[in-house]
Every structure is written in C-alpha cells, then in structure tokens.
Structure 1
C-alpha cells in the first residue's frame, strides 16, 4: 500500500525550468551585456547538464557563444560563470516572488488528494533549499 509521495520540484511540482530558470538566465545575460539568448529548444538540450553553473560552463565550451575579450581567459570565464549564476538566482527569486512560475497542471489537486488520503509527502531535489522554500511558500501558502 502506498504510504508516501516524494516530489521533485523543477518540472514536476512547477514549471521552474522553462518559465523560471531559463528566463532568469536570459535576463542575467542581457544585464551583463551579453548577446546570448537561450530559447526553449536550446534550454531543453542544456537540461541534460545538471546544475546551473555546470550548464553555463557546458554552453561556453560546446556552443562557443560570442564572448568579449575580457572574458576569454579561463579564470575570467569562471568569474563570469559565477557572476551570471548569482545574478540568475536573484532574478529567479524575483520571478518566484512575482508569481510568474505556476504549479504544473493537476499538482494542487494531487497534493490535496494525497493529504486527504493521509499520505506523507516530501520533496527531494537538487534545487537549493532557499529556492524550494520560496517557491512552495508562494505557490502553496
């Protein structure tokens, strides 16, 4: 008999990837003066690489986007990755706070049905605890 449900967050409870992280990355790129834009097709491809900083490094190595001279040295590129990721996280938090990341269809109903059935529920994710807490507070109260 089913006793518990363990939920993932990104793409399971909410559409955080395409409507959240991808949008926040694109905003961070624009703010840094970079002409990069991750459309949905490219971002789906990049999702094969776990982790935001790792995804940025992969993009730089494999896709070789235009890069101003000051960011071409390895140490400078790594500093750029760190800077972009920090800015992306701030922008993602703002998207969450603004209610721009919705629950996936049917999730609210499934959560309620599981609660009524007395099932224990938990979240298991690689998403940062801060991002998970902010998202769940915003979406579920």
Structure 2
C-alpha cells in the first residue's frame, strides 16, 4: 500500500465525544417545545443507526406511532442545533491523540480533510471550540444528497482533495461511517466511541482505542 498523502476525518464521536452533547440538546429541544419525549442513552444508541438529526426525530415519531410531521421535526432539529452550539461554546475536549496526529500530519506535508454528514453549523460550533490545523477540504451534510452509510461524503472529499482513495486514510468511530469510508475505497481506522463500542468493525484496516501515538506510515 502506498503511504497516505491525506487523512480524512469524521467528526461526531471521532474528533470528540460529541454524541452525548447531541443527545442532551435533543432533549432540551423536546422539553422547550412542550413534548413528552426524552431520549436516554440506550434509546439514543438505537437512534444513531439513523444518520441525520431530523431523520432521527422522524424515526422516533414513527416508532412511537406519531404522524410524520416534517415541519415539526425540522423545527425541533433547528432548536436542537442551537442548544448544541450553546453547549459547545462552553468547550469540549478532543479525543486523545487527535490534535497530535493532525499536527504531525500537517508538518509532514499531508493534506487534511473532514467528511461528515452532520450539519455545517454543528461542525462550525465544534471547530470554534477546539484548536486544530486548517483543513484542505470539508464536506458536510449540506454538500451531499445521501448521508452515511452512503459513501458520497468521502467520494466528494477525495474529489476536492484531487486524490485517489488509495493514497488517503479515513478515521471513523461508527459502523455507518466505516461503511461510508470503505464504500469509497478508503482504508479506515476506527476509534469506537461511547455509543459505538461493540459494533461490527471487521472491515476496518485497524481498530484502536484512541489515536495517541498513531503512525499513518505503519
């Protein structure tokens, strides 16, 4: 295998353990709207099989026998994103090894990219709260028609980097993300997170607890 020329990162659960902040923000949005909905951790783990916050809300409506109210789901999702941004403004720690790996890769001349299907506002809130080097390409949910596990986000990131999949390495934390990355032909490093431990990562190039000391040349 050729040595990687680019590292492409997922965001939620990969750069930082953000999923718990998302869950709490959803619950604040539900409470503010006067809805008797509160997602505990087991329920949220189930819903993470659905990518996209609005789609997650609609899945909950369907599971609860409620009508598929697109307008309400959209309003709740926007409210949730505001609560998430407020929480993120208070600060969040990157997962161990993330900053060190990115800085080392940048110093070695590698390109860095993000391929996420979270919203641009959520990504912006995270990047404003942490200290990371600049990215050569960023793909968010607004840039693609199909969310993960569809590979579109990674295909677009590679196109924007002007690189083939064989010279890039992806970093993910979930089986949906792994399917997206491998579907684009990428070797993928998985660091399971709070909500994804125990998922089937058998198609990953490597599974590690964190990125401390990770060497992309190995």
When normalised by structure 1's length, the TM-score is: 0.82
Per-residue deviation, 1:112: 2.0
The residue number in structure 1 matching 2:7 is 5
Residue equivalent to 2:17:
15
Comparing 34-43 with 49-58, greater Cα deviation is found at 34-43
Give the deviation of 1:63 after TM superposition: 3.3
Gaps of 5+ in 1: 65-71
**Mapping of residues 1-141 of structure 1, within 5 Å:** 1-18=3-20, 20-64=21-65, 77-99=69-91, 101-140=92-131
- Give the length in aligned residue pairs: 130
Q: Which has the higher helix share?
A: 1
Q: 1:73 deviation in Å?
A: 5.7
Q: Greater RCO between the two (CA within 8 Å, min separation 6)? A: 1
Partners of 1:57 and 1:104 lie apart in 2 by 30
Q: Which has the higher strand share?
A: 2
Which stretches of structure 1, 4 residues or longer, exceed 3 Å deviation after superposition? none
Inter-partner Cα distance in structure 1 for 2:75 and 2:125:
22
| Secondary structure, aligned partner of 1:133 | helix
